[in-house]
């Protein structure tokens, strides 16, 4: 089966510009996660969707970050305006939610953002 | 809140030798999952091994095994017969027991394999 797709793979922007990242999860996966991975750190959850509803966005900087998953399939994460500290790899992951106690999360290749 | 600590930023191992990566975590819950993920350079993160906290038996996947010490909140990864392809960042992660909760990651350990 196809994995989690993300685009673009790399993006370089100037501070105060806006940027958007796209994620297409594995077919049939109801849960989608966006993680931010700053250099030298482990990934940190930004937002979690189940179908097209937000489950957890407590760590999303809502003054500049937004995300949507309108049809419960693919998702877009936007930053506007970007700051230098937003330089990171943005990882998308997806998992089934079928009532089992454990559902593995599958990760995409990530988008590496550099803010100059 | 749960936290995960990896105290070894970098490790190295000779090819064919064994290496152990350390991880400790903090939680007040009695049931949870623990994971080791591998992130090769410029490639996506993949699951190496997982452990359910209610299982006393340590998980094993081919050359990878864990030493799970629940009382000590310790979860180390042992890689036996190390291969060049094992070189990567390794992340320890924690997750609450319900099916769709996010992962809490440590900062990672960069493993180098020397030929």
pLDDT tens-digit series, residues B5-38:
999 999 999 999 999 999 999 999 889 999 999 9
The pLDDT score that the predictor gives to residue A71 is 86
Other Cβ atoms within 10 Å of A44 Cβ, number: 16
**Residue ranges making up the domain that contains B97:** 3-114
Q: Tens of pLDDT along A57-93?
A: 999 999 999 999 988 899 999 999 999 999 999 999 9
* Cβ-Cβ contacts under 8 Å for B55 (sequence gap 6 or more): none
Q: What percent of chain B has pLDDT over 70?
A: 99
Q: Say how many CA atoms lie within 13 Å of B90 toward its Cβ.
A: 30
Tell whether B99 is within 8 A of chain A (Cβ). yes
Backbone angles phi, psi at B85, to 5 degrees: -70, -5
Using the predicted structure, report yes or no on whether residue A101 has a pLDDT greater than 80.
no
Measured between CA atoms, how close is B41 to chain A, in angstroms?
10
Q: Does the structural domain A5-97 have CATH classification 3.40.190.10?
A: no
- Say yes or no for a CB contact (<8 Å) between B44 and A107: yes
- Helix (H/G/I), strand (E/B), else coil: A85: helix
CB contact under 8 A, B44 and A109: yes
Q: What is the pLDDT of residues A10-62, one digit of tens each?
A: 999 999 999 999 999 999 999 999 999 999 899 999 999 998 899 999 999 99
B110 interface with A at CB cutoff 8 Å: no
Domain boundaries, chain A: 5-97
By C-alpha distance, the chain B residue nearest A43 is: B105
Size of interface A-B (CB pairs under 8 A): 58
Check which CATH number belongs to the domain holding B63 and give it: 2.60.40.10
Distance separating alpha carbons of residues B1 and B104, to the nearest angstrom: 10
Continuous segment of H or E residues that includes residue A76: strand A75-79
Contact: B50, A99; criterion CB under 8 Å: no
pLDDT grade for A97, boundaries at 50, 70 and 90 = confident
In B, which residues are within 8 Å of A30 by CB distance?
A: 100
Instruction: State whether A109 and B107 contact (CB < 8 Å).
Output: no
Q: For position B1, what pLDDT does the model report? A: 78
Rounded-to-integer distance, Cα A9 and Cα A113, Å: 9
Q: Do A45 and B102 touch (CB under 8 A)?
A: yes
Give residue A99's pLDDT.
55
How many independent structural domains does chain B possess? 1
Tokens of B102: 């996010």
**Residue B60 predicted with pLDDT over 70:** yes
Which residues in chain B are closer than 8 Å to A108, comparing Cβ atoms? 44
Contact B99 A103 (CB under 8 A): yes
pLDDT at res. A61: 94
> What average pLDDT does this structure show over B38-65?
92
User: H or E segment at B30?
Assistant: none
Q: Does B97 touch chain A (CB under 8 A)?
A: yes
Mean pLDDT value of segment B62-67: 97
**DSSP 8-state secondary structure symbol assigned to residue B62:** T
Cis peptide before A81 (omega within 30 of 0): yes
State the pLDDT at residue A100.
60
Whether B52 and chain A come into contact, CB under 8 Å, resolves to yes
């Amino acid at each position: 089966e196809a994995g989690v797709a993300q685009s673009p793979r790399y993006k370089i922007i100037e501070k105060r510009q806006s940027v958007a990242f796209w994620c297409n999860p594995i077919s049939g996966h109801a849960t989608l996660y966006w993680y931010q991975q700053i250099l030298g750190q482990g990934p940190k959850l930004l937002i979690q969707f189940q179908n097209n509803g937000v489950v957890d966005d407590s760590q999303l900087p809502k003054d500049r970050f937004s995300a949507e998953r309108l049809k419960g399939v693919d998702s877009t994460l936007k930053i506007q305006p970007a700051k230098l500290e937003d330089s990171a790899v943005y990882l998308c992951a997806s998992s089934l939610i079928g009532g089992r106690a454990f559902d593995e999360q599958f990760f995409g290749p990530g988008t590496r953002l550099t803010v100059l | 809140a749960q936290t995960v600590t990896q105290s070894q930023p970098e490790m190295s191992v000779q090819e064919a030798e064994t290496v152990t990566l350390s991880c400790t975590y903090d939680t007040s819950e009695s049931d949870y999952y623990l994971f080791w993920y591998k992130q090769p350079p410029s490639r996506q993160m993949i699951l190496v091994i997982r452990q359910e906290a209610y299982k006393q038996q340590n998980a094993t996947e081919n050359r990878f095994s864990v030493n799970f010490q629940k009382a000590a909140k310790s979860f180390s990864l042992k890689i036996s017969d190390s291969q060049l392809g094992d070189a990567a960042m390794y992340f320890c992660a924690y997750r609450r027991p319900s099916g769709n909760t996010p992962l809490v990651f440590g900062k990672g350990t960069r493993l180098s394999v020397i030929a």
